[in-house]
Amino acid sequence: MRAEGLKVTAKAHPNLALVKYWGKVDEELNIPASSSISVNLSGAATTTTVVFVPGAEADSVTIDGQAAPSKAYLRVVKHLDRVRQLAGITTRAKVESWNDFPASAGIASSASAFAALSLAASRAAGLSLTERELSILARKGSGSACRSIPDGFVEFVAGSTDETAYARQLFPPEHWDLRIITVILEGGPKEVPSSEGHRAAQTSPFYAAWLAALPPTLETVRRALAERDLGTLGMAVERQAMAMHAVAMTSSPAGREWLSGIYYWAPGTVALIRAVQDWRRQGLRVYLTIDAGANVHLLCEAPDQGELEGELGRLLPALGGRYLVSRPAVGARIIGEE
């Protein structure tokens, strides 16, 4: 098949880590120090169109209708180079990417962005990659992006080589009608990007303990997902998120001597942690997790969503936040080819 000229559009959702990826053994290839588990989020998506344009002198990249800022542009070009190398072509590409959530929502878009880009660009280059190969390609753009390739609940298998660090489905989206409420407390990019957080993790005195706790946590979360056991899942997920933040808060990122640790939380984050514990004491079955930022993701089952939204409605005006509701979603999909 002639690669050039085929215009392909792909869509992917961000994913929420139930067991976090924090620390790498290979920074260039994004090989993680440990496996992680996630669920794709239906409430947000990135849609990306790629066409390789014969004769074009440079790659062109727009994000939400604007020319990509230089850091993002270079990251996309590097990813296109990986695709060109796989396909044995040198043609430059035109990339247009749209997020259906505002950049200021504070939702990390790199996972959905690199998942959609990997699928659209590989197909536009004439490649037909397997799900595993696609996840490996997406991983090189951003580690967590590999988890947005398969459908539903996904494990990013740590592996120790390029070929063995990949994402695979644990359960399809319809396995469990969980609701994930993302409370957006702070928009905009975080002060310390996650790539720096990963690098700094090893400087924490708790890093070894963090790694040691992972195998039993992964096992508990896999089993709780299989049994749809929210109580077990929620406590394991919540404790693991706190452990990641304990590592971040006690690590020293290079070149930021003024930081005694990486502190991602905002006052509203702490208020929500306390509120969730309080709601649970009163019988509401809700659990939380926090990525490398101030926003809080709440987990509950469908019958409790209404009550939880009621509680949030009373609390959020004081915190100045808003929220987005998701269900487990499919992975990356082709939605157009011409």
Instruction: State the nearest-atom distance from the C-beta of 296 to ligand DP6, in Å.
Output: 13
Whole-angstrom Cα distance, residue 326 to residue 66?
A: 27
CB of 111 to ligand DP6, least distance (A): 6
Residue 23 or 234 with smaller CB distance to ligand DP6:
23
CB of 198 to ligand DP6, least distance (A): 5
**Distance in Å, CB of 141 to ligand DP6, minimum:** 7
Closest C-alpha among 279, 262, 263 to residue 271: 279
Q: Residue 26: CB partners within 8 Å, gap ≥ 6?
A: none
Q: Which residue lies nearer to ligand DP6 by CB, 305 or 331?
A: 331
Would you say 9 or 142 has its CB closer to ligand DP6? 142
CB closer to ligand DP6, 21 vs 176: 21
Whether 158 contacts 33, CB under 8 Å: yes
Query: Closer CB to ligand DP6, residue 25 or residue 335?
Result: 25
The pairing of strands 15-19 and 333-337 is: unpaired
Rank residues 92 and 198 by Cβ distance to ligand DP6 and give the closer one.
198
Q: Which residue is nearest to ligand DP6 (CB)?
A: 143
Minimal CA–CA distance to 150: which of 329, 312, 287?
329
Q: Return residues touching ligand DP6 (CB under 6 A).
A: 17, 20-22, 30, 36, 110, 142-144, 194-195, 198, 291-292
The count of residues in the chain is 338
Degrees, nearest 5: CA angle 49-53-58: 95
The least distance separating ligand DP6 from the CB of residue 197, rounded to whole angstroms, comes to 7
The gap from C-alpha 176 to its chain's centroid, in whole angstroms, comes to 20
Q: What is d(CA 145, CA 167) in angstroms, rounded to the nearest whole number?
A: 9
Instruction: Please state the closest distance from residue 221 (CB atom) to ligand DP6, in A.
Output: 12
